[in-house]
Structure 1
Amino acid sequence: MIKLKLAISVIGLSLLSACQYGAEEDAQLMHESGNTINVQDRTDLYNEEGHPNGDDSNTANFGYVRHQKSGIPQDVAHTPTPGINREQTANTISSLIVQLPNVQDVATLVTDEEVLIAYKTDSKNRNDTADQVKKTAISVVPRYYHVYVSDNANMIQQIEAYSPLDSNSRDINQILDKTIKEMLKSPQGKPLNKGENPNGEGYGETNEELDDDQKDQYEKTRYNNERNK
């Protein structure tokens, strides 16, 4: 009888130790913040350093975040709207593009819905280089962004002059539109697909009549010119 009680005690202690170990392991694995459960501590969207994982490279890790709907109706305290750091995004884009073949200098301006990229290149195939530059930027920003590029090195200083401005600056849309029209004189690369032009501007979108982009302005002008012939 004594041996049986001793055996039960040993098993109980083993199970308790295992539960404690499992809890500690889960605590190390999962970090909980509000209604968001993360495998790793949260960092910025574009984290240059990545997360260390044993002996692996910092950039080898997968990214994982799990969101759970809050149990409190209209509780927005724990569900902030995600956003991007435009300065850091511009840095990411420029850092990637300058590594492309035949690109020596690049400047990137990220607004609320556009990416303007001016670069210096000695490429003999300007359209292919423009395509690489554009697709590099598109791979970084949210999909609703439109990307405009120019291999006119003089445009670097021009978009640099806009760096102190923001979305609320006076006449900012008119200023950017004028610059974009100048950039469109340079190759823009290939259309992204049958539904979008090279800059990521879509055809036949749901809110096409409300979307005043460079594609629409160009096609309206062409249509009016053809109608007036």
Structure 2
Amino acid sequence: MKRNLLLLFLFVVSIMLAACGGADNAADDERRQAEERDQMVEELDPERETTPSNPSGDNKLGYVRYTKEQVENETEKQHGVNIDRTALANMITRIILRNDGFAEAATLVTDNKTLIAYDKEDALDKDKAADIANKTAVSILPGYFDVYVSDNAALIGDIQSLHNSSIEDNKYDNTINQIIEQMEHSSQGAEE
């Protein structure tokens, strides 16, 4: 009799533990989703880079030296050149906002295009604002980039919607081209 009670007790405890496990999985899913939301908010937070990771390195000159043999070895042949598009977008946006007359700016850097939308104050001439935004991007980016700017602040949200896109995913090309078409209705800065 005691044995049957013990088996019944173990059976009930097993069922209760299994039921609690399902609740934990649901809680884990909610926790994971909250962490993903927090990560996205953190990625878009302009305050996240307030302190340089290597303060003494900011004052140093950049210098490297190689011989021809060093860059022709097998390891070096596999070395690719990468551009940190987020860092470029961050730099462009921050420099634009350091100019008087800009209230908000958003920058999207693709593999060969840069889209900048900004909200300017009324006192700043639209052509001068476009010139500042355009020249800022051109001074930072490699020469093969096409730069598009617009004072249409509504495009800031359109640009932001693409922030998690990949250059390898062509399904966003149509959206980017539509944004560019809208930007071309705005001043693009002085032509030189």
Question: Could you tell me the TM-score, scaled by structure 2's length?
Answer: 0.65
Q: What amino acid does structure 2 have at the position aligned with 1:88?
A: A
The reply on whether 1:145 has 2:145 as its aligned counterpart is yes
The reply on whether 1:178 has 2:178 as its aligned counterpart is yes
Q: What amino acid does structure 2 have at the position aligned with 1:161?
A: S
Tell me, yes or no, if the aligned pair for 1:107 and 1:117 is still in contact at 8 Å.
yes
Structure 1: how far apart are the matches of 2:55 and 2:80? 23
Tell me, yes or no, if the aligned pair for 1:116 and 1:159 is still in contact at 8 Å.
yes
| Residue matched to 1:29 | none
State percent identity of aligned pairs. 31
Q: What secondary structure, in the 3-state scheme, does the structure 2 residue paired with 1:171 have?
A: helix
| Residue matched to 2:107 | 108
Q: What amino acid does structure 2 have at the position aligned with 1:133?
A: A
More helix by share: 2
The reply on whether 1:130 has 2:121 as its aligned counterpart is no
Tell me, yes or no, if the aligned pair for 2:110 and 2:167 is still in contact at 8 Å.
yes
The reply on whether 1:169 has 2:180 as its aligned counterpart is no
| Residue matched to 1:25 | none
The reply on whether 1:156 has 2:156 as its aligned counterpart is yes
**Per-residue deviation, 1:183:** 0.6
Q: What secondary structure, in the 3-state scheme, does the structure 2 residue paired with 1:66 have?
A: coil
Q: Residue deviations 1:75-113, cap 9 Å, x none?
A: 341352222111111111111111011011111111000
Structure 2: how far apart are the matches of 1:76 and 1:104? 50
Paired residues in the alignment total: 139
Gaps of 5+ in 1: 1-47, 53-57, 194-229
Structure 2: how far apart are the matches of 1:140 and 1:49? 21
Structure 1: how far apart are the matches of 2:119 and 2:76? 45
Q: What secondary structure, in the 3-state scheme, does the structure 2 residue paired with 1:190 have?
A: coil
Q: What amino acid does structure 2 have at the position aligned with 1:148?
A: Y
| Residue matched to 1:78 | 76
**Per-residue deviation, 1:174:** 2.2
Structure 2: how far apart are the matches of 1:170 and 1:142? 22
Taking a change above 3 Å as real, the CA distance of residues 63 and 109 of structure 1, as seen in their structure-2 partners, is same
| Residue matched to 1:91 | 90
Tell me, yes or no, if the aligned pair for 2:70 and 2:76 is still in contact at 8 Å.
no
Tell me, yes or no, if the aligned pair for 1:51 and 1:61 is still in contact at 8 Å.
no
Taking a change above 3 Å as real, the CA distance of residues 188 and 59 of structure 1, as seen in their structure-2 partners, is same
Tell me, yes or no, if the aligned pair for 1:49 and 1:59 is still in contact at 8 Å.
no
Alignment of 1:24-39 (within 5 A): none
| Residue matched to 1:117 | 116
Tell me, yes or no, if the aligned pair for 1:130 and 1:187 is still in contact at 8 Å.
yes
Tell me, yes or no, if the aligned pair for 1:134 and 1:147 is still in contact at 8 Å.
yes
Q: What amino acid does structure 2 have at the position aligned with 1:182?
A: Q
Comparing both chains, which one has the higher relative contact order based on Cα–Cα distances under 8 Å and sequence gaps of 6 or more? 2
**Per-residue deviation, 1:60:** 3.9
Q: What amino acid does structure 2 have at the position aligned with 1:179?
A: I
Structure 2: how far apart are the matches of 1:71 and 1:59? 27
Q: What amino acid does structure 2 have at the position aligned with 1:95?
A: R
Taking a change above 3 Å as real, the CA distance of residues 187 and 81 of structure 1, as seen in their structure-2 partners, is same
**Per-residue deviation, 1:124:** 3.5
Gaps of 5+ in 2: 1-51
Q: What secondary structure, in the 3-state scheme, does the structure 1 residue paired with 2:141 have?
A: coil
Question: Could you tell me the TM-score, scaled by structure 1's length?
Answer: 0.55
For the aligned residue pairs, the C-alpha RMSD in angstroms reads: 2.1
Structure 1: how far apart are the matches of 2:70 and 2:54? 32
